[in-house]
Chains A and B, each alone.
Chain A
Amino acid sequence: MSETFVLPVGPQHPALKEPTSFRFKVDGEYIIDADLRLGYNHRGMEKGCEARTYVQDIYLLERVCGICSNAHMTCFAQGVERLMGIEPPPRGLFIRCLMGELERIHSHLLWLGVAGHEIGFDTFFMYTWRDREVVMDLLEMVSGNRVNYGMQTFGGVRRDLDGTQIKTLLEGIAALKARTPYYLNLGATEPTMVARIKGVGLLPKQKAIELNTAGPTARASGVDFDVRKDDPYAGFGDLIPFTIVTDDGCDVLARVVVRAKEMMASYDIMEFILKNLPAGEIRTKAPRRVPEGETVSRVEAQRGECIHYIRANGTDKPDRVKVRAPTLANWPATLYMLRGAFLADIPIIMAAIDPCLSCTDRMAVISDCRGNEKVWDWETLRQHGIDFHRRRGIRP
């Protein structure tokens, strides 16, 4: 006789480094149903933006995510540029795209390693992360920082490339280009790895479309959607050629393949950019006040479509900023993939969407089992924090 029970996983759990809470209804080793609770990492950044100037916001929003920092910065910058009615010069647009692709490489290599780690293949993790250092060094050389590159600004980019940097970039890209097929082959031919990820976390194309899946997760289910192609921004479209990568596998293996092939496509984009870099200015002058209006800006972050909504009221501070990070779009599909899966596959199925929780977290109102809800305002929360520490003998 089968008996089901509910297994809570999280907020702290072994699969991810960030907190989120799941409720799994399980029957033996099978997951019958999955539910999700967000809100453990809500940081109030959208509200924070309203209290700061546009210039300050660009750095605040860069920190929505440590991995997609350039994607958020680009997204916000180009939205505000549209409201200001300014357009960066071609060289600025090219460097903007270059940063996006460099970031994609670092993120995909990081993800490959994490995927290896989640299925217990730590050798794979070590090698991918070692190679990731190549692109991290390139990013550091171009921007002056390993994370949070701070390259984008209103009207273009903040740093230019010189001849030596272009040469180093091309060398680094060539080295990575030689390495990536190795990972692709390994992912697709190493029997232990294939056995662990093939047919796991199935998401059919129709479901991927219905559940609004974004990024490599969607493309690995055969959905050929990419903002770079469907709503070209920065230099994409007319200036920089781009090929979309999809796979029909619909499983975790397909997500590995799509990401590895996307890296190959990114190397081509970067080589094109570096060999055809237009001369001239990298940025145009931007006003400090933004005329009244509203806009939606989107970019293809490495995890999928990243959307920013910006409403301006004519001052130097935005009226409202809303961020839709790609992970939020992929949660419904993750829950779908988890239903019917094995308990042991939870880590890799979740990791396969490359989730980023703090980027996604919203404030959530949770009622207890009796249906009671409690909402605290800022002052109450602050007082609670002070009292909490006082009780433990810590004085502010």
Chain B
Amino acid sequence: MSLRLGAMLPEVFRHLFKRPATVLYPFERNTVPRGLRGRPVMDPDKCIGCRMCERDCPAEAIEIKQESEATMPDGKVKKRYSMTLYLDRCAHCAQCEEICPAKPDKAVKLNEYFEEAAFDRGALKIVYK
């Protein structure tokens, strides 16, 4: 291959007429793909209190607590659980969602919300109950 000075110039000139590659965030936003691993959200109505998510979470970001216990008319005991999520520790790995055995729908799922920055750490402690 022979050496050629200014091999990059044609490319540089072409870019004078192209749109910028960057997006002016936060004024403009990129769309995120379906299935982005955002914030874990828990639905206490579906949780069976197995604590698998708490056990598996690699960041120890989940606490499951029993909130109430009620005996149903049919004699069955119904317990209700809450989840405290420390979002500042969460690594968004989705292991909690993967392991949750609740049927027919998982009790914890990740949404596609990604703008998690906060000035106050306390704002990142989320309680689902």
Contacts and interface: CB of A to CB of B under 8 A. Distances in A.
Contacts of B1: 185, 188-189
Nearest to A164: B34
Contacts of B36: 140, 144-145
Contacts, number: 71
A144 B35 CA distance: 5
Nearest to B94: A150
A59 B21 contact: no
Interface string B1-30: 111110110011000000001000000000
Nearest to B2: A189
Contacts of B12: 123
B91 A186 contact: no
Given A133-B21, A189-B2, A59 B8 contact: no
A144 B94 contact: yes
A5 to B, nearest CB: 38
Contacts of B21: 130, 133
A194 B2 CA distance: 11
Nearest to A133: B21
A396 to B, nearest CB: 14
A381 interface: no
Interface in A135-169: 137, 140-141, 143-145, 148, 150, 158-159
A53 B52 CA distance: 13
A95 B52 CA distance: 27
A185 B11 CA distance: 13
The B contact surface, by secondary structure, is loop
B93 interface: yes
Given A52-B58, A59-B58, A190 B7 contact: yes
B56 interface: yes
Contact of B4 (A127, A133, A141, A189): A189
A141 B99 CA distance: 22
Contacts of A190: 3-5, 7-8
Given A130-B21, A182-B11, 17 more contacts: A55-B95, A55-B99, A56-B57, A57-B58, A58-B58, A133-B21, A137-B33, A140-B32, A140-B33, A145-B37, A185-B1, A186-B8, A189-B1, A189-B2, A189-B7, A190-B4, A191-B4
Instruction: Return the 9 tightest CB-CB contacts between A and B, nearest first.
Output: A59-B58, A56-B58, A144-B37, A141-B33, A191-B3, A190-B7, A130-B21, A144-B35, A59-B93
